Chains A and B, each alone.
Chain A
Amino acid sequence: MTKQLEKKHSLAVRWLHWISFPLLALMIWSGLLIYWANAIYGFKIFGYELFHFFPTWFYDILGIPLRLAEGISLHFFFMWFFALNGVIYVLYLIFSGEWRAILPVPGSFKRAALVSLHDLHILKKLPPQGKYNDAQRIAYTGVILLGAGSIITGLAIYKPLQLSWLTWILGGYEWARWEHFWVMILFVLFFVVHVIQVLLAGWNNFRSMITGFEVVKTDAVATETMVEEGAKV
């Protein structure tokens, strides 16, 4: 048995990743404090509301009611740090070349479906992949787009006069608010799936986001295959 250490996450990515977590949490939390004051969204089918954002018990458990001013002060404080962290991350991806590991490539959507089937234990074999599989590529690119979307829709409702063109593009003030809300919901869904996947992936993978390194087993079988493949060239 031999092992190899794989450098998975640079120091910058690890810091940016972990800083984004409390910042996103604070933005969502303060956003909820604000949303409560005009909580009008829900899932409606033929005029019948299946689910309202959010049920009373949800607000009560979290102690959300009557904290609009507090929500605004937090939201418009941490927005700068949230946006700055995201911008630095994107710049880092561009200049380090690490965008290569994250951007979807031709065939990514097809292979991402196969990865999902594998994760659901329907398929045995994983499609070939680089550092991240294609489902991860789509998810990680998607969450960057969510970050951009949160800033764009947020600006449209924050400065609907100065940025009236942006608000107009997004369908007006009310639509922009609705879009800002759904960006938040998608962020939460990403978070839930991300945490589940990390739990399933195990300690070695989790540790790599803290130490930067993952221990890779180079077991006998794999080695044999590699030796054979190596022999072919």
Chain B
Amino acid sequence: MSEDKGLDNEVLLEKVREIEAAKRDDKIIDKENTAYILGEKSGLSAPLTDGEAGKIMSRRSRRSFLIGGAAAVAGYFGYRWLRQPDNFYIFERMFRFNENVSQTFFESSDLAPEFPRELAGARVNGLIGMGEDFSADSWRLQVTGLSNPQQFSLDEIKSLPRTEMTTELKCIEGWSIICNWTGVRFSDFAAQFFPVLRDGGTPNLQRLPENLTQYVSLVTPDQGYYVGWDMQSILHPQTLLAYEMNGEPLKPEHGAPLRLVSATKYGIKQLKRIGSIEFTNVRPADYWAEQGYDWYSGH
């Protein structure tokens, strides 16, 4: 009986082998089969006995599970290591890498869409750096890093070329709002007042921004809120020193008397109530970057 079964198995094995061979020669075709339609290959081994199959599989399994398990453990501890507070600089480096990629593709001719004026709204969010002890009347914009340190009154700024735009302000929290802004383009302001240059040479407006310092720092009068900008973004034509919002003089909660607005970065970078501006080659401190946010935070 058992001999018979053994013989049967032998015969069966032989038959299956024949069929496999025939299959390989494309003799058996199931036209309904999706594998056939695209000419998909299947990778079947030669027929094996239970014992053989078990032996091969357990050898392969042991190997694969060991490697897979080791990889999983390494991944887990690698992640835990990465997330240690001391290693946050790795994430900051990635922010910096992303910034470089972004700047490589940044074109000042790329413009954010503008919207019909009627769609403009307002939303108050964040009053950091807007201490009570402030008088708009005695306010002067302090600018350092120009050929000479200078002060500007609001009227002096208003006398510069006037630009209006209706753009979408994007908050890093994920919401956005369309606002209408009027002010002077930061690039117009910079062109007018010849900031100091990287190499100290004579200013050449045709060579902006390559010839300028790398960064601009903006700080509130109480120094409670401060942001750093790369020159490329702040000279974008949709970055304004704004003194009007939705056709009215800027309200205190929106950053009166003068604030930065831009289509190039999140709201956290668009400083309200600017007290001082500095052109610098040192990457400026940034309030939210110190809280773990992306220093660049650019669109």
Residues of B close to A218: CB separation below 8 A: 16, 47
| B4 sits at the interface (CB 8 A) | no
| A34 sits at the interface (CB 8 A) | yes
Contact of B53 among A3, A128, A158 (CB under 8 A): A3
CA distance A164 to B68 in the complex (A): 42
Whose C-beta in chain A lies nearest to the C-beta of B18?
A230
| Residues A220 and B12 in contact in the complex (CB < 8 Å), given A100-B38, A131-B40, A229-B28 | yes
Which of A5-13, A51-59, A84-92, A189-197 is near enough to bind chain B?
A5-13
Q: Is the CB of B9 within 8 A of A100?
A: no
Residues of A close to B36: CB separation below 8 A: 130
Among residues 47 to 69 in chain B, which have CB atoms less than 8 Å away from a CB atom of chain A?
A: 47-50, 52-53, 56-57, 60-61, 63-65, 68
| B126 sits at the interface (CB 8 A) | no
Residues of A close to B264: CB separation below 8 A: 161
CB of A222 to closest CB in B, whole Å: 9
Residues of A close to B168: CB separation below 8 A: 160, 173
Q: Is the CB of B299 within 8 A of A7?
A: no
Contact of B61 among A134, A210, A220 (CB under 8 A): A210
Q: What sequence of 0s and 1s flags, for each residue 278-299 of chain B, a beta carbon within 8 Å of any chain A beta carbon?
A: 0000000000100111100011
Could you say which interface size class chain A belongs to? Answer: 35 or more
CA distance A115 to B46 in the complex (A): 29
Q: What sequence of 0s and 1s flags, for each residue 85-129 of chain B, a beta carbon within 8 Å of any chain A beta carbon?
A: 000101110110010001001110011110000000000000000
Contact of A105 among B34, B63, B113 (CB under 8 A): B34
Q: Which 4 A-B pairs have CB atoms at the shortest separation, nearest pair first?
A: A130-B35, A38-B174, A7-B43, A69-B292
**Could you list which residues of chain A lie within 8 angstroms of chain B, going by C-beta atoms?**
1-8, 18, 22, 34-35, 37-38, 40, 68-70, 72-74, 76-77, 80, 97, 100-101, 103, 105-108, 111, 127-131, 134, 137, 158-162, 164, 168, 172-174, 177, 207, 210-213, 215-216, 218, 220, 223, 226-227, 229-230, 233
Jot down 19 A-B pairs with beta carbons below 8 A, ordered by A. A2-B49, A18-B68, A37-B174, A38-B175, A68-B173, A70-B292, A74-B91, A77-B94, A100-B40, A128-B30, A159-B299, A161-B298, A162-B106, A164-B112, A164-B113, A173-B176, A207-B61, A226-B19, A230-B28
